[in-house]
Structure 1
Amino acid sequence: MLVVAAVGGNALLQRGQPLTAEAQRANVKIAALALAEIVRAGHQLIVTHGNGPQVGLLALQGAAYKPDEAYPLDVLGAETEGMIGYLIEQELENALGHDHAVATLLTQVIVDPKDAAFGAPTKFVGPVYTQQEAETRAQAAGWAIAQDGQYWRRVVASPKPVEIPDLRVVRLLLDQGVTVICAGGGGIPVVRRADGSMIGVEAVIDKDAASALLAADIGADALLLLTDVEAVFSGFGTDTAKAMQWLSPEEGRALQMPAGSMGPKIEAACAFADQGGVASIGRLADALKLLNGAAGTRISAAPKS
């Protein structure tokens, strides 16, 4: 099977961990071991990943410069895609014993410049803060902020991905048996101008939405949305919480999950299922089990077997 595995940013850098290269490499190494199981089982693999903590960190570092010297989010997104892709590529090669080709592709993703998301930021980036600290930073830097669990974080525009022009390069690599790491952080957000040329925009695309678009357009058989929770739960956070093993797209959309956490994963899984694919949501460590239907939550338009 052709599998798209989307690794969440929080699975690569867990909440409360320092934003260091060492911490990220340690988490990537664990992720690579789980992803390598999919390749060893004989499947073709495309890996995507989040970048929320990392792109927010780079934006904070850029704040040390003059306002006109700070890099825009599309450039920071490209930097994080290269950085995280490098770590995943190297650790996945190590996990596979260097007998399998792995390549990272910086991936442009086209968005609509008129997308309403530009006026309503929802995408979490950067570290977590107390409410007071977040409000202080927001006032000083002109941020939009929102609550993320018990903490607060910066939020930025997250337009819907429309087209992946680099898809033809992904196909070329797959034809050569390469495991491809692409669309990192949702891809580099760009718009197409009237003359057909492209230019980056100030945004961060949701990784799960981009992964669903990629999986559908490339003709993948399965989409794995890998995170730090074992499944989608009904009554999450209550004494009656229960893991759901199977959902139809209609049931998934009716759950009305939080926009900044499980919500995008449910919507991405439902979008892929609408196209006839099978999507699964669950823990990174259970990647192969998710693919085999032995763990997590499976979302499919086909009747439950």
Structure 2
Amino acid sequence: MRIVLALGGNALLARGQALTAENQRENIQKAAESIAAIAKQHEVVIVHGNGPQVGLLMEQNAAYQEYSPETTPYPMDVLGSQTCGMVGYMLQQELRNCDASLNIATLVTQTQVSKSDPAFANPTKFVGPVYSEAKAKELMAASDKVFKADGEYYRRVVPSPMPQDIVEVPQVETLLTAGNVVIACGGGGVPVCIEQGRSVGVECVIDKDLTAELLAEKINADLFVILTDGSIYRNYGKPDQAEMKVATPKGLSEFSFPAGSMGPKVDAVCKFVESGRGDAAIGSLFDLDKVICNEAGTLIKQGEGIEYY
């Protein structure tokens, strides 16, 4: 079975943890154990998040510019590619530490977006460090960057457009056919657009789950899995909450899920199922072997209705 795994940020860094290499490696070791356990029986592509990592690089860039004003911060596409290498290196190293017989390849992947996407007219995705209102206004006056209030501070906001295409799909296919576990589209992929026949970087971020779904369609995956804190629930956090075992896009459309957490994930899995290529699932990384057998997590498939545990 060909499986695309979207690895949530909590698998790389637990909430509230310091963004140290040691903490990330410890979490990645746990992630690698779960993935390695299924990688010998299936073709696996891993798409990981990179939000905290990009934020750290942006802060480091800003700090260095204070020391060396002529050294302008690197653009977001370049920072995104750096995180692909960093997280990919740790993942492929720890996967081989779990099973030395695995062949693993990390591919820096470009995701094409459209400059006409409405997201560019209304940047909403917070990135990078916090600033005072005065400092944010100073930075906006000196550049084309946009800052908005985030609580009592200000942070930079960038567009989050829909992914249109993935440039390196043929390379992903080649690596899979050669027997590799492939790590691709890290952080949603390096955002690019095509201008006069040339690929150029774009200052934006792309939703990792949406890119993973697009990749699953492009490579005709049999199963698309989003690994997060757990299953889909009806009325999560309320006294009558109920864990879904099997769901359908039609059944899920009757519920409202939080835009900042489960909502985009549900949208992504429903989109894949509706494409007719295969099933999808949402579940915990540490139940991955059970998730792919529908013994844990929530399986999303075509049809009607909801089945609960």
Query: Aligned to 1:92, which of 83, 91, 95?
Result: 95
1:14 maps to 14
Letter in 2 for 1:144: K
Q: 3-state SS of the aligned residue for 1:161?
A: coil
Query: Aligned to 1:166, which of 168, 174, 183?
Result: 168
Distance 2:184 2:105 in 1: 9
2:264 maps to 264
Distance 1:173 1:95 in 2: 20
8 A Cα contact 1:32 1:92, kept in partner: yes
Distance 2:207 2:56 in 1: 17
Q: 3-state SS of the aligned residue for 1:69?
A: coil
2:288 maps to 287
2:116 maps to 114
Letter in 2 for 1:78: S
* Percentage of identical aligned residues: 46
2:52 maps to 53
Distance 2:238 2:157 in 1: 27
Question: 1:1-305 counterparts in 2 under 5 A?
Answer: 1-40=1-40, 42-64=41-63, 65=65, 66=69, 69-96=72-99, 98-125=100-127, 142-144=146-148, 155-194=157-196, 196-227=197-228, 229-276=229-276, 277-302=278-303
Q: 3-state SS of the aligned residue for 1:82?
A: helix
Letter in 2 for 1:45: V
8 A Cα contact 2:95 2:102, kept in partner: no
Distance 1:38 1:76 in 2: 31
Question: How many Å apart are 1:232 and its aligned residue?
Answer: 1.2
After superposition, the CA RMSD in angstroms is 2.4
8 A Cα contact 1:279 1:300, kept in partner: yes
Distance 1:74 1:294 in 2: 39
Q: Residues 235 and 303 (structure 1 numbering): CA distance in 2 closer, same or farther, change over 3 Å? A: closer
Question: How many Å apart are 1:60 and its aligned residue?
Answer: 1.4
8 A Cα contact 2:257 2:263, kept in partner: yes
* Runs (5+) with no aligned partner, structure 1: none
Letter in 1 for 2:256: Q
Distance 2:54 2:259 in 1: 19
1:184-234 per-position Cα deviation (integer Å, ceiling 9, x unaligned) = 00000000113x11101001110000000000110100011001x221112
Q: 3-state SS of the aligned residue for 2:226?
A: strand
Question: How many Å apart are 1:255 and its aligned residue?
Answer: 2.6
Question: How many Å apart are 1:251 and its aligned residue?
Answer: 2.8
Distance 1:255 1:136 in 2: 42
* Runs (5+) with no aligned partner, structure 2: 140-145
8 A Cα contact 1:257 1:263, kept in partner: yes
Question: How many Å apart are 1:123 and its aligned residue?
Answer: 3.6
